[in-house]
Structure formats: structure tokens, C-alpha cells
Amino acid sequence: MINRILVANRAEIASRVFRTARKLGIETVAVHSDADADLPFVAEADHAVRLPGNAPADTYLRSALVIEAAKVAGADAIHPGYGFLSENADFARAVEAAGLTWIGPAPESIEKMGSKIEAKKIMASAGVPVLEAPASPAESDLPLLVKASAGGGGRGMRIVRTLDALEAEVAAAEAEAKSAFGDGTVFVEPYVEAGRHVEVQVVGDGAGNVAVFGERDCSVQRRHQKVVEESPAPLLPDSVRSALHEAARNAAAAIDYRGAGTVEFLYDAASERFWFLEMNTRLQVEHPVTELVHGVDLVELQVAVAENGVGALGGVSTGSTSVDGHAIEVRLYAEDPTADYQPQSGTLTALEFSGDARIDAGYTSGSEVSTFYDAMLAKVIVHAPTRDAAIRRLSSVLRTARIHGLVTNREQLIGILGSDAFRSGEVTTSLLAKEAFLSTTEDPGAPVAAAIALAERTRRPGIPVAWRNVPNQPQRTVFEDGSEDGIVVEWRGTRDGYVIEGQAVEGFEVVSATGDGSGRDTVVLEKDGLRTGYTVSIDGASVDVDSAFGHTALKRRPRFTDPALQTQPGSLLAPMPGSVISVLAEIDQDVTEGQPLLVLEAMKMQHTVTAPTDGVLTQINVKPGDQVAADEVLAVVESVESVVEPVETTKEETA
């Protein structure tokens, strides 16, 4: 019997395991880095142990430190979650050697599947179809995919479309894999352009008994990282579905698999063929959709197998369990899809959801999102009788959520769910490469509501704000939009309320403006007979506006600008806090627009900073290994036009 579980992980997956542990009457222990000390999962645990430091290599990836924390806390079992040490065979062995229960597969199984190269050999021997790469690729073999052997999540993965780019892409993949997983081994396989990512959930007991809990479609991906997952997979012929389940069962049985795992396949709908990709010897991020449609708690099954040992399932389920309705999960990331998915960090001032949904979140309102870990904030999951009903319900939950303080992919998720491509079920892994699904819809009423809410904050009770007996110029509130003029809202305060002026906001009438004392103001506007309510949250110069039209983040422009805050033209600013990996150019070097100049690493991803224009690199302020803050000046490129060539003159001309 397990009495106290330590979760060797963080954020939402730690909270998820704690939830099942509490249901089973098992005490919980959290481990946390310094950056994570105030996150919800730490407070949710019965006990917590600090792992000094912030970087994964100093904290969650130090197996000896985690095991010592378990001993200090009196834990008798360790659950690894996903990522970090979850698929580290040496860690699993060390846990068992310490006399603790390992809630995961046997170390030997982890080892066999840990190398994608070796895993393919085992699967081929078990009769599971695999993709084979040519020993000497030719033009006819393109495109190719370079993949990290030891990891996943899109890191260490590159698509190669020309043979002359193969060597460079392999080197880049090796570097990223080494940074992310400590192992730079990569391999090459054919890249299926219009493939679907379909995976099968299995639970084994180490004695050959394997229960199959259906499949998930995880084809909607960015940078080979899953964004939307659903179960069951749409538009999958019954014959293919059965064959996938059987292949997954054979794959798990081939290594006497114990515990929960996922066998991932690449499926080509045109030919109805599929191939083994990899086996994840752990709980998947997207496991909630399986739990909802199959009515099962996969963490509870993990604990049961760990407690009861080999043969725990006893052949209870050797076929697919029944499916109830449809479930869809989206991953909400702190990232900007309009800026090449640049990760965001800082204070998440609001994270609130309404509606019928399961929210597995690692953060809450007021949480600080650091640069040290993955940018996922929460998983939003819905379950409905049909796929169409699930899509509509999930879209509504996302639209009505209050998410403030950081840029997220929320609008992109709504765009994906509402697209014809997704609604038809005909999605592939290249969907987001073809279309970003970025909403360009702007709500002209949002700046008006924001300006009125700001005005209300300065008004004395019973007195119209800015009211004068003799009206003069209207009041002006300006919000930043990247342009010189900004978004200008002109308004007057009268005995009868506010009057909105200006062409940009013409036609709006202020029906009412009230505050609830909690920092939120409600402004009701009317235009062309349509009345709309806006909820406005103000935090210094930042103003967030939520309405039926969606969310608008605004920043109020100060009336006076401090010259000291101005940056030199051509300055390259750090897009996010992070560390400098490499500097690719030298001072006084001629550079061209788009040329890579520096590489930063943040949230386990590398980001290239490029030259904004043709010119000369006149200044470099950083070196490899430096930690930089957001908006810090990294370098300066003077454009060709601004570089004045000296004019040679003769002595006679200067006399």
C-alpha cells in the first residue's frame, strides 16, 4: 500500500496527480524550484520540499536531489508525471534501489523505448509497421525529418526539403536535443507531408496483459508540439481503428509493458496506412480526453499497477473499452502566435474560466510565469455527446475566459476550432504550417470602454467627470497600437453622462458605467441600435477589456514621454528574458535584412534574433552565457541609409 506520493514534477501535472491521490486517501509531497515556490501545486500538496535553483538541470532533473527529497518527506512512492525524469531509466532504477515504489514502467521498458532508433527495431520485430530512412538520401527521398532519439515535444526536430540543407539541420537538431535532453543523438526518416498523428492509450501489467483505451488524434501541432487533441479520432475507418489498437497492444506486449503508456503512429488517410513513431513510457499531456470518453482515471490505474505488481490487470481488459461521446483538449500557451510563437513571461493577472469544462492548470490569477520551463498555462478540456457539440462548447469556454497579463494562443485556438478544416475532421500535422488561424478582428468599442472606465476612476461621486460650465476641448485618452498617433478616444463629461467624439469611435453612445469595487468596471455601449456590455480591468497603464466580441489588451500612452526611455534606432531588443546561446556576427560587419545575429534560449526553446534591415552591426552588448531581460538592447544595426561614408578630399580642397 502506498501511503505518501512525491510527484517529481511541477505545475498542472503535479496538481493532476495530487487530485487522484487525495481521492485515494494518499498523502502528497511536492518538490519545487525557487521560481515555482508560489505556484498552486505547492500549496495543494500536504508537504513540500524546496529544490534550490531555477533551471531544470539544477532542480527537477537532479535525480539524487529528488530522491533525497522523498526521504526527507517520508514518501514511499514517486510519480514522475511527464517530461523531466519521467522516461529516465536510471532514475527509475535509483528510485527502486532507494526502497521506494516507482509509479511507472519497468526501467528495462523505458530503456528499450527511450531510444527511438532501438524502439523501431523492436517494433519491426513485433510486426508493427515502421518508417525506414534511406542510408544515403537522394532527391527522390525528400522531404526528410530529423528527430532527436532521446526526447520529444518537437525539440531536436527539423524538416529538410533540400539535400544541401541536411547537414546544417542535423547539426541544429543535435544542438537542441543536447540542450533539452542531455543527448544529442538524432536520426533521419521520411517525412509524410499530409500525415495524421494518431496515438493509442495502453495500460499494461508487466505480464502480457494490455488494456487498450482507444485512440487520440493529435494532428494539430505547431513546431511539432501538440496544440489540440481529441478522442476518438475522427474520420478513422473501423478497420484502421482496430488495426491501430492491435498494433499498440502488440507493441506494449513486446516489452512486457507495465503501467500507462502511449504508442504513437503516423497515419496516411489516403492510403489508410500507418507507421510506428514512438512509445511514450509515461502519462501523456493529453490523457484527459481519454479519461472523459472512457470514464477511467489513468493515474488511479497507474497507482493500482504499482501497488499490485506484475499481473495486476489479470487480463481484465484485452480489447478496447467502450466510448462515451467525444472529448477535445486544447493547450493554452503563454506565447504569441503572431511573432513566431515567441514565449511570454511575467505576471498572469487573470486566469478565469466559466462554462462546463475540465481545467487542468498549473497557474492561477496572480501567478508569475518564468522563463525556465514550458510555456503551457493550462489544458482546457470538454466532453459532449458529439464532436460538433464538443467543438461549440469548447469555443464558448475559450471566448468567455478572462486571461490577462500575458499574450496567449487563445485566439488562435478559437480560430482552429471554428475553421472548416477542423470541423470537417480532415486535419493533418501540416495544418498550422499552411494557415495560422490568427484572428484579425478588432473591436472598436474596446478602447471606448477602456477610456470611460479610466475616466470613472477619477470621478467624484455625484459629479460628472471633467464637466465644465463652458465646454472647451474634449478630453483625450490615447492607447498604444504601434503607430505614431495611437488609438485616440475623445470624450466629454456632461450633466447627462459621457459624449464620445472623434471619427475613429464615431457613433458610440455610453449607456452606463459602473464599478463593483473589485477593480473591474462594467461599461455598456450602444452603436447602431446594438447594445454591448464590456468588463474593464485596469492595472497601471495596462487595460484589459472583455466582451462578447472577445478580449482586447490595451496600454495607455503616457501624456509625457521620458527621453531616457527612448532606444537608439536599429536597436535589437530581447523579445523575452532568456540566456544568450551564441553570437553569430561581429562588430562593424555588414549584415543583410533577416540575417541571424544572435540565438537566445527561453522556455526550453531556441529563438533566433535577426537583422531588421541591411546595414552595419555597430554594437553588440552581450556574449554567450549572458542572462538578458525582456526589451534589453542586445545589439544595434545602423541601416545603410544612416551610415555616412567619409568623403575623400585633397589638400587643395581643404586649404
With a cut of 80, say whether residue 137 has pLDDT above it. Answer: yes
pLDDT at 651 (0 to 100) = 47
Angle (CA) 218-224-230 rounded to 5° is 10
536 and 522 both lie in a single domain: yes
646 vs 165, residue with greater confidence: 165
Q: What's residue 311's pLDDT?
A: 65
Domain match, 516 and 500 both: yes
370 lies in the same domain as 303: yes
On whether the CB atoms of residues 532 and 549 are closer than 8 A, the answer is yes
SS3 272: coil
Q: If pLDDT is split at 50, 70 and 90, which confidence band does 178 have?
A: confident
Do the domain assignments include residue 10?
yes
Query: Are residues 184 and 202 both part of a single domain?
Result: no
> pLDDT confidence of 393, banded at 50, 70, 90?
very high
**H or E element at residue 483:** none
Q: Is 654 inside any structural domain?
A: no
In the prediction, which pLDDT does 654 show? 42
Report how far Cα 36 is from the mean position of its chain's Cα atoms: 17
Better-predicted residue by pLDDT, 43 or 134: 43
Q: What share of the chain is helix, strand, coil (3-state, %, to 5)?
A: 25, 35, 40
Q: How confident is the model at residue 630 (pLDDT cuts 50, 70, 90)?
A: confident
Q: Taking the CB of residue 149, how many other CB atoms lie within 10 A of it?
A: 20
Of how many residues is the chain composed?
Answer: 655
Of 22, 184, 2, give the one whose Cα is nearest residue 104. Answer: 2
Q: Report yes or no on 394 lying in a domain.
A: yes
As a whole number of angstroms, the longest Cα–Cα distance in the chain is 103
Split at pLDDT 50, 70, 90, the class of 148 is: confident
Nearest to 413 by CA among 220, 610, 218, 145: 220
Same domain, 370 and 457: no
Residue 651 lies in a domain: no
Q: Is the omega angle on the peptide bond into residue 143 within 30 degrees of 0, that is, cis?
A: yes
* Per-residue pLDDT at 561 exceeds 80: no
pLDDT tens digit sequence for 285-299 = 999 999 999 999 999
What would the 3-class secondary structure string for 11-78 be? HHHHHHHHHHHHHHCCEEEEEECCCCCCCHHHHHCCEEEECCCCCHHHCCCCHHHHHHHHHHHCCCEE
Give the Cα separation of 463 and 466 in Å (integer): 9
Element (H, E) at 341: none
Instruction: Say what the pLDDT of residue 147 is.
Output: 84
In SS3 terms, 388-457 reads as HHHHHHHHHHHHHCEEECCCCCHHHHHHHHHCHHHHHCCCCCCHHHHCCCCCCCCCCHHHHHHHHHHHHH
Q: What is the mean pLDDT of the chain?
A: 89
Q: What is the DSSP letter of 459?
A: P
User: Are 417 and 271 in the same domain?
Assistant: yes
Q: Do 337 and 383 lie in a common domain?
A: yes
- Reply yes or no on whether the pLDDT at 62 is more than 50: yes
Q: How far is CA 594 from CA 111, 186, 495, 529, 613, in A?
A: 42, 28, 56, 48, 7
Q: What is the pLDDT of residue 463?
A: 58
Mean pLDDT of the 212-230 span? 95
Q: Answer yes or no: is 163 within a domain.
A: yes
CB 222 within 8 A of CB 153: no
Is residue 454 domain-shared with residue 360, that is, in the same domain?
no
Q: Which of 641, 631, 483 is nearest to 567 (CA)?
A: 631
Which pLDDT tens digit goes with each residue over 301-356? 999 999 987 666 654 443 446 899 999 999 999 999 998 898 899 999 999 999 99
CATH assignment of the domain containing 208: 3.30.470.20
Q: Does the structure show a pLDDT above 90 at 565?
A: no
Are 51 and 147 members of one domain? no
Q: Report the pLDDT value the prediction gives residue 653, as an integer from 0 to 100.
A: 45
The CA dihedral of 35, 38, 44, 48, to the nearest 10 degrees, is 60
Select the more confidently predicted residue: 576 or 88.
88
Question: Which residue did the predictor score with more confidence, 525 or 115?
Answer: 525
Structural contact between residues 640 and 410, judged by C-beta atoms closer than 8 angstroms: no
pLDDT digits (tens, 9 = 90+) for 246-296: 999 999 999 999 999 999 999 999 899 999 999 999 999 999 999 999 999
Least confident of 102-116, 163-177, 602-616: 602-616
In single-letter form, the type of residue at position 11 comes to A
Query: How confident is the model at residue 257, as a pLDDT?
Result: 95
272 lies in the same domain as 404: yes
Quick one: which of 576, 548, 570, 556 has its CA closest to 642?
A: 570
Ranges of H-type helices in 277-409: 287-294, 298-308, 387-400
Q: What is the pLDDT of residues 70-80, one digit of tens each?
A: 999 999 999 99
Q: How does strand 27-32 pair with strand 47-50?
A: parallel
Q: How far is CA 172 from CA 13, 150, 151, 436, in A?
A: 30, 15, 15, 25
Q: What percentage of the chain has pLDDT greater than the value 70?
A: 91
The torsion angles phi and psi of 220, rounded to 5 degrees, stand at: -75, 110
DSSP letter at 634 equals E
Residue 643 pLDDT > 60: no
- Single residue among 495, 521, 555 that ends a domain in this structure: 555
Tell me whether residue 347 is in a domain.
yes
Residue matched to cell numbers 488495426: 243
User: In 469-623, which ranges are E strands?
Assistant: 475-479, 487-494, 497-501, 509-515, 520-527, 530-539, 542-547, 550-555, 571-573, 578-583, 589-591, 596-602, 605-610, 615-620
Q: Is pLDDT above 70 for 647?
A: no
58-65: list long-range contacts, CB under 8 Å, 24+ apart.
58/33, 59/31, 59/33, 60/8, 60/9, 60/10, 60/31, 60/33, 60/84, 60/85, 61/85, 61/182, 63/88, 63/90, 63/91, 63/94, 64/94
Question: Cell triple for residue 472?
Answer: 472647451
* Residue 164 confidence (pLDDT) above 50: yes
Query: Is 244's pLDDT higher than 80?
Result: yes
Residues 551 and 452 in one domain: yes
Taking residue 161's Cβ as centre, other Cβ atoms within 10 Å add up to: 11
> Residue 630's domain is classified under what CATH number?
2.40.50.100
CB neighbour class for 205 (10 Å; exposed up to 12, middle 13-18, buried from 19): buried
Better pLDDT: 170 or 314: 170
Cell numbers linked to 391: 467543438
The residue to which cell 473589485 is assigned: 518
Give the least confident one: 149-153, 361-365, 400-404.
149-153
- The CATH number linked to 67 is 3.40.50.20
> Of the candidates 88, 103, 118, which is a domain's last residue?
103
Whether residue 439 lies inside any domain: the answer is no
168, 190, 212 - which closes a domain: 190
pLDDT of residue 267: 96
Whether residue 492 is found in the same domain as residue 539: yes
Q: Is residue 113 part of a domain?
A: no
Q: Which residues contact 67 (CB under 8 A, 6 or more apart)?
A: 78, 94, 95, 98, 100
pLDDT the model gives residue 607: 77
More confident residue, 240 or 573: 240
Q: How many independent structural domains does the chain possess?
A: 5
Coil, helix or strand at residue 493: strand
| 365/153 Cα distance (integer angstroms) | 27
Q: Residue 141 sits in a domain of what CATH number?
A: 3.30.1490.20
Taking residues 406-412, what's their average pLDDT? 96
Question: What is the residue range of 382's domain?
Answer: 196-434
Question: 502 is written with which cell numbers?
Answer: 472623434
Q: What is the mean pLDDT of residues 202-227?
A: 92
Quote the Cα angle for 286-160-426, to 5°: 45
